[in-house]
């Protein structure tokens, strides 16, 4: 791979190689692929990345990736701005939006607390969330972070900082997945689901 | 429940082996180094999906061969007969474990199905080596039948690791932030407290059985005790974590918690490590293992297989006689015993009127004598 005939080719390959999950061989294949594009295809390819660099915004309210200063979700007056769902990154928003069950707005942390990965509260979009909570207009904050040790720790950190605010703090339910047979559930999930069992009335009323 | 048939292919020093086993007592006789322990290990393997002391899987394959396989046929597993448990490993690929020819999705699903207790010369490590060996032993016994405990342990270790990295980072950056540490303390105390309570409860159940077995083996000459030593005992876990921040700051690791627990083995109020004779230490360990046997039997509602590796190395003839008498009384299930001397076994059984099978192991071959 070190003896490419062109320095320009090599540079482009190296750039693709920087991407996660792309090895040198795949990078070379991609670059050769692009080289075979028509002139106008190449232009639009490059333009997409230039625009990504120059024009992308992070929503001033929720920190989601957006074309404008305020993302479409936060700019939508029909959504309930008194309920905020806290997530790790944009992929979680896409997943929750696909459920069509949530009409509030989001707050994107950009990660979770993990000293092993060198991420502390200061590295995350944490403090603007606390300000929102303290402003006194929110009804509820829903914590929708991974159900891992690090996710729980981040939940706890947020909780500790806003527990005095006059609002409801909830977290997404954890337990047996919908449609699961109990005999196939792993013991830990089943055990915790039993421990955190819920009032049947709650379910019947909801559905 | 018992192991009826054992087949080995290229497992450690054995080529192809076919054994029909006795439902009660099986002896493996042979000189040192012929593979008695390896044979025991094959039986252990079928219960725990791994070797007793060889964690590098490829070493279990016979030299110059590229796979090994162990097949065991069991009777009376949950009132099912002729259950075939198979394990095979091809060099460089993953281990395949099967129940009646159907592959397990997770090895964890198998562990506990064929309960087994092993008594071997390696047990001495529990007395001689550091506290982590004792914690690991007790943890493995508890978690075999308590998956929530296992989950707590895994999560505790994760929190511990994160917290230690945080302490180290703060030290390197010369800024100590108690609040950042505290957010880990919350989970650490939840998990640590549960682990502490579970360990207390387990030892509380085990201790009377253990003491009874020790008295049985030694005719009650000494008073033995296992003490669970934990910084967390009778303490408010969360407050203690906070109180130790200053200490943690300088140590750069977490100084308080159940990862520092130990089990103190005592005889007549003194640590057996320093004050017990070789024989007393051996009786202590065997009583512990027999207590583990009872515990396992109580939970799994079946008598575990019992492996007695090199038993005469540990006990004099009278005590071995007592243990085998237990088997005769129906207190034990199927027992496997290994020894170097055939005459010792024959004279032993001349005194007991029990039926048994005896296998002579020579150069990777096994011949049934009785």
* Structural domain spans, chain B: 1-115+302-370, 127-300
The CA distance from A111 to the nearest CA of chain B, in Å, is 15
A194 in any annotated domain: yes
Burial class (CB in 10 A: 0-12, 13-18, 19+), B22: buried
Q: What is the pLDDT of residue B147?
A: 84
Domain match, A103 and A50 both: no
Contact status of A140 with chain B (Cβ, < 8 Å): no
Total structural domains in chain A?
A: 2
Same domain, A180 and A85: yes
A118 and A25 in one domain?
A: no
Put simply, the answer to whether A153 touches B162 (Cβ < 8 Å) is yes
Phi, psi of B237 (to 5 degrees): -55, -50
CATH code (residue A20): 1.10.8.420
pLDDT of B356 reads 86
Q: Do A84 and A165 fall into the same domain?
A: yes
The tens digit of pLDDT for each residue in B163-175 reads 999 999 999 988 8
Domain residue limits at A30 = 7-54
**Contacts B252 to A, Cβ<8 Å:** none
Query: Nearest CB to A120: which of B158, B163, B180?
Result: B180
Residue A192: inside a domain: yes
Average pLDDT over residues B145-163: 92
Nearest to B287 by CA among B299, B274, B276: B276
Residues A119, A155: one domain?
yes
CA distance A24 to A14: 8
Q: In chain B, what residues touch A113 (CB-CB under 8 Å)?
A: 183
Q: How far is B354 from B26, CA to CA, in rounded Å? A: 11
- Is A60 part of any domain? no
In chain B, which residue's Cα lies nearest the Cα of A119? B166
User: Residue B224: its pLDDT value, please?
Assistant: 94
Average pLDDT over residues B240-267: 94
Of all residues in chain B, what percent carry a pLDDT higher than 70? 99
Confidence check: pLDDT of B323 > 60: yes
Residues A16 and A95 grouped into a single domain: no
The contact set of B with A (CB < 8 A) is 147-148, 151, 155, 158-159, 161-163, 165-166, 169, 180, 183-184, 186-187
Average pLDDT over residues B101-115: 87
Q: Each residue of A144-203: pLDDT tens digit?
A: 999 999 999 999 999 999 999 999 999 998 888 888 888 888 888 888 888 888 888 877
Q: Per-residue pLDDT for B126 more than 60?
A: yes
Mean pLDDT of B53-75: 87
What mean pLDDT is predicted for residues B292-301?
92
Q: Is residue A1's pLDDT more than 70?
A: no
Asked if the model's pLDDT at residue B19 lies above 90, the reply is: yes
Q: Given this model, what pLDDT does residue B313 score?
A: 73
Q: What is the CATH number of the domain that holds A87?
A: 3.40.1360.10
Which pLDDT belongs to residue B189?
A: 95
Alpha-carbon B200 to chain mean position: 19
Average pLDDT over residues B180-201: 94
Q: Each residue of B71-89: pLDDT tens digit?
A: 999 998 888 899 999 999 9
Please say if the pLDDT value at position B314 is more than 70.
no
Report the residue of chain B nearest A190, measured CA to CA: B148
pLDDT the model gives residue B247: 93
CA closest to B154 among chain A residues: A149
A141/A199 same-domain check: yes
Verify whether the Cβ–Cβ distance B147 to A160 is below 8 Å: no
* A153, A160, A188 ranked by CB distance to B148: nearest: A188
CA distance to A10, A78, B56, B81, B143, per residue, from B125 (Å)? 58, 68, 20, 37, 20
Query: Which DSSP category does B2 fall into?
Result: E
Which of A73-82, B202-211, B215-224 is the least confident region? B215-224
User: pLDDT-based confidence at B258, cuts 50/70/90?
Assistant: very high
Mean pLDDT within B201-208: 95
What phi, psi does B176 have (nearest 5°)?
-100, 130
Q: How far is A190 from chain B (nearest CA, A)?
A: 10
Same domain, A100 and A151: yes
Q: Which residues contact B333 (CB under 8 A, 6 or more apart)?
A: B1, B2, B302, B303, B304, B305, B306
Give the residue from A84, A90, A83, A59 showing the smallest Cα distance to A72.
A59
Together in a domain, A82 and A154:
yes
Shortest distance between the Cα of B308 and any Cα of chain A, in A, equals 32
Task: Summarize the confidence of residues B20-46 as an average pLDDT.
Answer: 90
**In angstroms, what CA-CA distances link B233 with B17, B125, B152?**
51, 26, 18
A92 in reach of chain B (CB within 8 A): no
The strands making up B116-119's β-sheet, listed across from edge to edge, are B116-119, B305-308, B335-339, B25-29, B357-362, B365-368
Rounded Cα distance, A90 and A111, in Å: 10
Query: DSSP string of A67-121?
Result: SSSS-HHHH-TTSEEEEEEEESSHHHHHHHHHHT---EEEEE-SS--BGGGTB-G
CATH of domain B127-300: 1.20.1050.90
Yes or no: say if B192 and B258 are a contact pair by the CB < 8 Å rule: yes
Residue A26: its pLDDT value, please? 94
Q: How confident is the model at residue A27 (pLDDT cuts 50, 70, 90)?
A: very high
Q: What is the pLDDT of residue B114?
A: 92
What is the pLDDT, as a whole number, of residue B331? 84
- Indicate yes or no: CB of B187 within 8 angstroms of CB of A113: no
Nearest alpha-carbon partner for B225 in B249, B208, B200: B208
Residues of A in contact with B151 (CB under 8 A): 188
Range from B55-64, B113-122, B264-273, B294-303 carrying the lowest mean pLDDT: B55-64
Average pLDDT of chain B?
89
Q: In chain B, which residue's Cα lies nearest the Cα of A114?
A: B162
- Cross-chain residue pair A156–B186, CB shorter than 8 Å: yes
A92 within a domain of the structure (yes/no): yes
**Listed range (B34-38, B63-67, B327-331) with the worst mean pLDDT:** B327-331
Kindly state the tokens that stand for B348.
């032993």
**Chain B residue whose CA is closest to A195:** B148
User: Helix or strand or coil: residue B225?
Assistant: strand
Q: Which residues of A touch B163 (CB under 8 A)?
A: 115
Per the model's pLDDT, the better-predicted residue between B189 and B92 turns out to be: B189
**What's the burial of B215, exposed, middle or buried (CB within 10 Å: 0-12/13-18/19+)?**
middle
ipTM of the complex in this document: 0.73
Residue of chain A nearest B158, judged by CA positions: A149
Per CATH, which fold does B1-115+302-370 belong to?
Answer: Rossmann fold (3.40.50)
| Both tokens assigned to A206 | 């909801």
- pLDDT of B138 reads 95
CB neighbours of residue B49 within 10 Å: 17
Q: Between chains, do B162 and A160 touch, taking CB under 8 Å as contact? A: no
Output the pLDDT for position A204. Answer: 65
Instruction: Find the mean pLDDT for residues A124-140.
Output: 93
Residue B347's Cβ-count burial label (10 Å; 0-12, 13-18, 19+) is exposed
Q: What share of chain B in percent tops pLDDT 90?
A: 56
Helix, strand, or coil (residue A139): coil
Yes or no, beta carbons of A115 and B166 under 8 Å apart: yes
């Amino acid at each position: 791979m070190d003896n490419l005939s062109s320095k320009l080719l090599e540079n482009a390959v190296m750039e693709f190689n920087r991407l996660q999950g792309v090895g040198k061989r795949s990078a070379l294949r991609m670059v050769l692929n692009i080289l075979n594009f028509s002139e106008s295809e190449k232009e639009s390819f490059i333009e997409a990345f230039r625009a990504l660099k120059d024009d992308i915004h992070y929503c001033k309210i929720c920190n989601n990736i957006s074309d404008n200063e305020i993302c479409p979700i936060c700019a939508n007056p029909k959504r309930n701005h008194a309920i905020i769902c806290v997530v790790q990154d944009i992929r979680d928003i896409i997943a929750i939006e696909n459920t069509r069950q949530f009409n509030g707005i989001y707050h994107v942390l950009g990660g979770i607390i993990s000293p092993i990965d060198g991420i502390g509260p200061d590295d995350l979009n944490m403090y603007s969330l606390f300000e929102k909570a303290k402003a006194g207009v929110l009804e509820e904050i829903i914590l929708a972070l991974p159900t891992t040790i690090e996710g729980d720790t981040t939940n706890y950190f947020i909780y500790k900082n806003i527990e005095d605010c006059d609002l409801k703090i909830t977290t997404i339910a954890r337990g047996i997945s919908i449609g699961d047979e109990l005999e196939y559930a792993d013991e830990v999930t089943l055990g915790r689901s039993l421990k955190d069992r819920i009032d049947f009335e709650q379910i019947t009323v909801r559905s | 429940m018992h192991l009826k048939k054992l087949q080995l292919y290229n497992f450690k020093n054995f080529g192809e082996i076919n054994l029909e086993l006795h439902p009660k007592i099986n002896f493996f006789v042979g000189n040192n180094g012929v593979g008695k322990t390896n044979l025991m290990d094959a039986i252990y393997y079928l219960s725990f999906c791994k070797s007793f002391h060889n964690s590098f899987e490829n070493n279990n394959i016979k030299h110059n061969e590229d796979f090994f396989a162990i097949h065991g046929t069991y009777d009376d597993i949950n009132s099912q007969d002729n259950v075939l448990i198979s394990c095979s490993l091809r060099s460089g690929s993953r281990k395949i474990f099967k129940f009646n020819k159907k592959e397990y999705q997770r090895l964890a699903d198998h562990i506990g199905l064929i309960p087994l207790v092993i008594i071997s010369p390696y047990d001495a490590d529990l007395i001689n080596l550091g506290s982590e060996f004792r914690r690991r032993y007790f943890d493995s016994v508890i978690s075999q039948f308590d998956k929530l405990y296992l989950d707590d342990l895994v999560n505790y270790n994760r929190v511990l690791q994160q917290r230690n990295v945080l302490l180290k980072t703060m030290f390197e950056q010369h800024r100590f932030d108690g609040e950042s540490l505290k957010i880990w303390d919350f989970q650490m105390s939840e998990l640590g407290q549960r682990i502490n309570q579970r360990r207390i409860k387990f030892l509380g159940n085990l201790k009377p059985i253990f003491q009874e077995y020790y008295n049985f083996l030694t005719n009650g000459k000494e008073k033995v005790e296992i003490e669970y030593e934990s910084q967390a005992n009778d303490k408010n876990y969360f407050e203690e974590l906070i109180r130790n921040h200053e200490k943690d700051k300088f140590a750069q690791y977490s100084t308080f918690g159940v990862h520092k627990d130990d089990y103190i083995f005592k005889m007549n109020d003194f640590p057996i490590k320093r004050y017990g004779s070789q024989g007393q230490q051996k009786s202590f360990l065997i009583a512990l293992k027999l207590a583990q046997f009872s515990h396992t039997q109580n939970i799994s509602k079946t008598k575990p297989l019992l492996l007695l590796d090199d038993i005469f190395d540990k006990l004099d003839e009278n005590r071995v006689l007592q243990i085998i008498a237990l088997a005769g009384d129906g207190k034990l299930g199927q027992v496997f015993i290994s020894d170097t001397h055939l005459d010792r076994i024959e004279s032993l059984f001349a005194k007991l009127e029990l039926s048994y099978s005896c296998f002579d192991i020579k150069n990777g071959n096994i011949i049934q004598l009785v």
